[in-house]
Chain A
Amino acid sequence: MPALSPTMTDGTLAKWLKTEGEAVAAGDVIAEIETDKATMEIEAADEGVLGKILVPEGTENVAVNTPIAVLLEEGEDAGALSNGAAAAAPSAAPVVEAVSAPVAPVAATIPAEAVYAGPTTRLSVREALRDAMAEEMRRDDDVFLMGEEVAQYQGAYKVSQGLLEEFGERRVIDTPITEHGFTGLGVGAAFAGLKPIIEFMTFNFAMQAIDQIINSAAKTHYMSGGQLTCQAVFRGPNGAASRVGAQHSQCYASWYAHCPGMKVVTPYSAADAKGLLKAAIRDPNPVIFLENELLYGQSFDVPTEEDHVVPLGKAKILREGGDVTIVAFSIMVGRALEAADALAGEGINAEVIDLRTLRPLDTETIVNSVKKTNRLVAVEEGWPFAGIGSEMAALMMEQAFDWLDAPVARVTGADVPMPYAANLERLALPQTQNIIDAAKAVSYRS
C-alpha cells in the first residue's frame, strides 16, 4: 500500500485493474487506491507478471507499506511466490536510535568593544550612517547600496548624501518603487556573493518584501545545509515618525526578532549607528538594521578612530544604578535616560541598558543587572502583544525569577493603529512620564 499524501497512514484498495497472471509494463495503472483525500491510480514501478494479489479489492484500512501484490520478474515463476510477500516488502527506514533531544546552544558571550577614550567628533545619526556605508564601500568592492531615491535624490532622508558622487551608479543604485522585487533581487545578488545594503524608505514598505526577507534571506542558509549565505543588510527608518498615520508608523522590532536566521540591530546613538552598521555590513548573515527618522538629526559624540566597529549582540549600560533596571532600544533609549534623570531626583537610581541588538539578545547583561536591582522595566515603541517586553518578561521568569522583587513592567505603544491627531498620537506612544511611573510602580513608590 503506497503512501500517497504527506499525512496518509492507511487506504482502501478500491479496485484491481489487472488480474493474476497478467503481464504489466512499468507505468501501467494496476489498481485504484482511496486515500483520505482522493482516489488515486497506482502504477507498476517495474515490468513483469502480476504473480499474486495479496490484498483483494474492497479491503479497507490497509496500512501504508503493506504488500498488496507480488510482481514476478522475467524468469521468475509462481514457485517464487512462497517467499514473494517477504521479498516484496520494502526495506524499512533505518532504525532511529533513542537519543535525547539536543539542547539549543547557548550563545558564547560576545565581548564588548573596548572603552574608547580617544578624540571624538560631533555627528548626527544621519552622518554617522552615511560614513559607515562609505567606509565599508571603500573597503570592499562587493558592498553596494540599493533602494528608492538613494542615488540622485541623495536619499529620501539624505542618509546616502554624497555616495553616488563618490562610488558612481554601479554601486549606488536607484531602484523603481518595487520593494518585493528589489528586495528579492538584492537577496539573489547576496546568494551569488555580493554584499548589498538594501535601503527601505521606511520599514513600513518592507512589509511588501517580508516574504523575501524571511523565506529567502533568513532560511536559505539552513535549508541549504550551510552551502548558501546571504550577506545583506536591510536598513531604513522604523517606528513612528511624526503625524504620518497608521500605515507609516509601526515598529517591526518584534516581527523580525522573532525569526531565526537573521540578526536584528536597533541603534540609538550616532556612535553606535556607525559602529553597528559597519559590523552589520561585514557580518556574513542577513541583518535587519532598524533606524529611526526622529533620531537622524540628533547629534552625538562619535569616535574618530579609523575603524570604529561595535560588535553585534552586545548591549550597553548607559547609566549605572542599583534600584531598577530599564531596558530600551532605538529612540526609546533617550526617553529612558530622561526618566532616569527624573527618577534620580526622587532618590531612585535607575540602571539604563541600551539593548542595541535584539537578536542575538545580550541576555547576560540584562540578567546581571536585574540580579543587582531586582526590578525590570522594558520600554518599546511597538505594540504590547508578543512584543520585545514580553520576551523580557519570559527571560526574567526563566533566568532571574529568584532575584525579582516585583513583576516585570512593560511600557509599550498603545494597542491600536497609530492615530493621526497630535493628542492621540502622543497618547499612543510611550512618554518619559510612563517610564517614570513604571519604575516607581516596580519600586513600590508612588
Chain B
Amino acid sequence: MAKSSSKTKSAAKSRSRKPGLERDELLNFYKDMLLIRRFEEKAGQMYGMGLIGGFCHLYIGQEAVVVGMQAGLSDKDTVITTYRDHGHMLACGMDPRGVMAELMGRRGGYSKGKGGSMHMFSTEKNFFGGHGIVGANVPLGTGIAFSHMYRGNGAVSLTYFGDGAVNQGQVYESFNMAALWRLPVIYVIENNRYGMGTSIERASANTDLYMRGSAYGIPGETVDGMDVMAVREAGAKALAQVRAGKGPLILEMQTYRYRGHSMSDPAKYRSKEEVLKMRTEKDPIETQRKLILDGDHAGEADLKEIDREVKLLVTEAAEYAQHSPEPDVAELYTDVLVEV
C-alpha cells in the first residue's frame, strides 16, 4: 500500500498544479460514483422486497475502480467483467432503467429479462458482460483484445476480474497468449480482499496480485482503488502504454466491498471494525467529496444538487423497472439460435 498512498499524494499535488482541468471531472466522478452507490442501495432494497431474485452481488465500496478506469476509455475500447457488474454497466453509460429492469427480470431489461444480474450486455456501449463463471471472462476479454489486434482498430480491451478469479488456470492461459501475441488488453484485478468468504491470505500463496503476470513478462502495478483520482491516473498511463503497442498490462486495484459477497452473505468472516474502518477512512465518495470541498471546486449546495439528481435517476430506474412487464411468454423460445 506504500506505493498507492504516494499516488494519492501525487494526485493531490497535480490538482494544485493544473488549474482548470478539474472542476467538471471532479464533479463527474463524484456523480458517477454516487449513482453506482445509490443504484446498488436501491437494488438491495428491491431485493429485500422480493422484486429481484436469485443472486445479487452489490458493488458498494468499489465505485472508484470503474469510474476512474472508464475516464480514460475511447468510444472504441471495450469492457468485460464478471458477475459483480452493475457498477461497470453504469460506468459504461448504460441506462440505469434498463439495468434495474433486467435485475427484476422485466421486458425492459438489457437482456429482455432473460439474463439477470450477472448476464447483461450492451453492444452499443461496447460492454461484453456480465459473466457468471469465475475466471471465464478472462479468456473472453483476451479474445476481444485479439479481435482488436486482428482488425488493427487501435482499441483496448479492459478485462476486469477479482482476487478470487486470479487463481483460475485459464487466467494464466490468457496471460500467456496475451503476452505472446502482444494483445491490447488491460487486466484490471479488483482485489476486494475476499473471494466470497475466503480472504486472499487464505486463498493465495502470493498476495501481490499485480505480480501475477511476471512469469509472462506482463508488467503490473498496484493502485489505490479507493481513490478515483489515483485510478484515473494509473488507468490513463496504462491505456497509453497499451495503445502504443507494448502489449498487456495488469492493474491491481486495492479495493473493498462493504456488503457481503451476495445478498444472503452476512459476512461473518471479517470484523465489523474492519468494515467500519474502510467506510470511515477510505470511502471513495467521501474522499472525493472532501477533495471537491477542500479545493473549493464546488460548495455543499452544488453537491446537494448532484445528490438530488442521482436520487431522481435511481428512483426513476426503480419505477421504470417495476412498471415494465415481465417478458412475453413467447420469449421463452426466442434468441436460442440466430435464425437463418
Q: Which residues of A contact B (CB under 8 A)?
A: 2-6, 8, 26-27, 35, 37-43, 45, 64-65, 90-91, 93-94, 96, 99, 101-102, 104-105, 144, 170, 175-176, 178, 180-194, 211-212, 215-216, 220-229, 260-261, 263, 283-285
Contact = CB atoms under 8 A, between A and B. Distances in A.
B326 to A, nearest CB: 6
Contacts of B322: 91, 94
A188 B147 contact: yes
B139 interface: yes
B301 interface: no
Interface string B40-66: 011011011111011100000000000
B47 A3 contact: yes
A178 B48 contact: no
Contacts of A6: 53-55, 264
Interface stretch (B84-92, B107-115, B217-225): B107-115
B330 to A, nearest CB: 6
A93 B50 contact: yes
B310 interface: no
23 contacts: A2-B45, A4-B48, A4-B263, A45-B44, A102-B329, A182-B173, A184-B140, A185-B140, A188-B139, A189-B144, A191-B128, A192-B148, A193-B147, A212-B136, A215-B133, A216-B133, A220-B121, A223-B115, A223-B119, A224-B129, A225-B110, A228-B128, A261-B336
Helix, strand, loop or mixed for chain A's interface? loop
Given A184-B136, A215-B133, A225 B176 contact: no
B324 to A, nearest CB: 9
B326 A225 contact: no
Given A102-B329, A102-B330, A192-B128, A285 B146 contact: no
B139 A181 contact: yes
Nearest to B80: A188
Contact of A224 (B121, B169, B265): B121
Interface string B257-299: 0000001111010000000000000000000000000000000
Contacts of B146: 185, 188-189, 194
Contacts, number: 206
B143 interface: yes
Nearest to B265: A38
Contacts of A99: 329
A5 B263 contact: yes
Contact of A220 (B129, B264, B326): B129
Contacts of A5: 263-264
Nearest to A222: B335
Contacts of B44: 43, 45
A284 B176 CA distance: 29
Nearest to A177: B173
A104 B176 CA distance: 43
A184 B138 contact: yes
Given A188-B139, A191-B144, A194-B147, A227 B121 contact: yes
Contacts of B199: none
Interface in B81-140: 109-115, 119-123, 128-129, 131-133, 136, 138-140
A193 B41 CA distance: 36
A181 B170 contact: yes
A293 to B, nearest CB: 26
Contact of B49 (A90, A102, A170, A285): A90
A225 B101 CA distance: 13
Contacts of B21: none
B340 interface: yes
A225 B115 contact: yes
Contact of A260 (B55, B113, B336): B336
A180 B140 CA distance: 11
Given A38-B268, A176-B176, A224-B115, A189 B143 contact: yes
Contacts of A104: 333
Contacts of A226: 112, 334-335, 338
Interface string B148-177: 101000000000000000000110111011
